[in-house]
């Protein structure tokens, strides 16, 4: 079966603290979060910007987390202000996945990878 997997990587800077954590992660601190979006599809779709079915999805629809909080993203924000869950990398990846699926065709298999540091990351998908 023909399969396309679109990948894009970007970063944003954000502050957070983990409530209830027994250790220094309970103190407010910042990370340069790196995010990889991998969008896999066996069919191509049109997008808001291209009327013909020639894309998995538009890269623009995958990069929203890197915008600032006024535009709905996370850059230079405090994650605790914009997340209803604990602000772990696991929950952040889950939230990014959920909000991205609201923007792209539902047949796409999306995998979201979030690096909290260059050596520690989490991968989330709902397969
Ligand atoms: Zn942290």
- Rounded to an integer, what distance in angstroms lies between the CA atom of residue 80 and that of residue 84? 7
Please compute the mean of the pLDDT values over residues 77-98 and round it to a whole number. 97
- What is the distance in A from the centroid of ligand 1 to the CA of 117? 9
- What is the distance in A from the centroid of ligand 1 to the CA of 106? 31
List the chain domain ranges.
4-124
- What is the distance in A from the centroid of ligand 1 to the CA of 31? 6
Q: What CATH number has the domain spanning 4-124? A: 3.30.479.10
Q: Which long-range contacts (CB under 8 A, 24 or more apart) does 96-100 make?
A: 96/35, 96/37, 96/65, 96/124, 97/124, 97/125, 97/126, 99/64, 99/72, 100/37, 100/61, 100/62, 100/64
Digit-coded pLDDT (tens) for 10-36? 999 999 999 999 999 999 999 999 999
Residue among 42, 50, 51 nearest 6 (CA): 42
pLDDT-derived band at 68 (thresholds 50, 70, 90) equals very high
pTM of the model: 0.95
- What is the distance in A from the centroid of ligand 1 to the CA of 8? 23
Residue among 57, 69, 82 nearest 12 (CA): 69
In the β-sheet with 29-41, what is the strand arrangement from edge to edge?
77-78, 4-16, 29-41, 109-117, 120-124
Residue identified by tokens 């997997």 is 5
């Amino acid at each position: 079966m023909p399969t396309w997997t679109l990948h894009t990587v970007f970063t944003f800077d954000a502050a957070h603290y983990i409530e209830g954590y027994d250790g220094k992660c309970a103190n407010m601190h910042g990370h340069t979060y790196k995010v990889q979006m991998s969008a896999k599809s066996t069919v191509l779709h049109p997008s808001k910007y291209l009327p013909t079915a020639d894309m998995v999805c538009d890269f623009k629809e995958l990069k929203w987390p890197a915008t600032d909080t006024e535009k709905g993203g996370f850059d230079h924000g405090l994650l605790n202000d914009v997340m209803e869950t604990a602000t772990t990398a696991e929950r952040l990846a889950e939230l990014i996945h959920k909000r991205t699926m609201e923007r792209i065709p539902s047949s796409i298999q999306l995998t979201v990878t979030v690096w909290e540091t260059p050596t520690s990351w989490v991968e989330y998908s709902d397969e």
